[in-house]
Amino acid sequence: MRRHLPTFLLSALILALLVWYFWPASTPVSSPPGAAPASGLTSASASASTSPAKIETPASKIAAPPPASAERSHLADDLNSPKTDLRSDLRILNEVFGAFRTNLPREGNPWGSNPEITAALTGQNKLRLALIPPDHPAISRTTGELLDRYGTPFFFHAESGIRMSITSAGPDKKLHTSDDETFTP
């Protein structure tokens, strides 16, 4: 019995490490009580972490609106604000993409067309995390696209899982002209 003890302990340690490594990371890291929440969120909702898990199908990811939550992100509050400029808007969006990657590290950047990326940023993602409020004035009510301060949809180009190029068509509202502004991290 004694000579099998080291083998048993080594096996238990390996099993514990495998469980820890492959355990799904389904919730964002929460802040300690009294500390400022991560990713620009104002208040943590205790009920969000205790709700039962739901199985999501591809259709439910797109069709289901994000649930009402006590948390509201303030990362995009100054997006298209008169007190900022276009370069600030692009930096704000870069911060939003950074927060998305931080909270959903296995996802990388959201991908797809502008409305699909906007849907992911407004809560239609695995964590139902809305980094931009769905009712933000920069989101077109008819197309679901995220618009620049001139009313033109932003052009997003995922250069990799961690790099997102963000382009505004600028005042002339035409892409690929001299007044375009692009932010590439």
pLDDT of residue 43: 39
CA 95 to chain centroid, in Å, comes to 10
The CATH topology of domain 81-185 is Glycoprotein, Type 4 Pilin (3.30.700)
This prediction's pTM: 0.62
Query: Could you tell me the residue ranges of all domains in the chain?
Result: 81-185
pLDDT of residue 17: 78
pLDDT of residue 66: 47
How far from each other are the two terminal CA atoms of the chain, in whole angstroms?
A: 59
pLDDT of residue 161: 86
pLDDT of residue 72: 81
Q: What is the pLDDT of residues 80-95, one digit of tens each?
A: 999 999 999 999 999 9
Q: pLDDT below 70 — which residues of the chain?
A: 1-2, 24-70
Cα(16)–Cα(155) distance, integer angstroms: 45
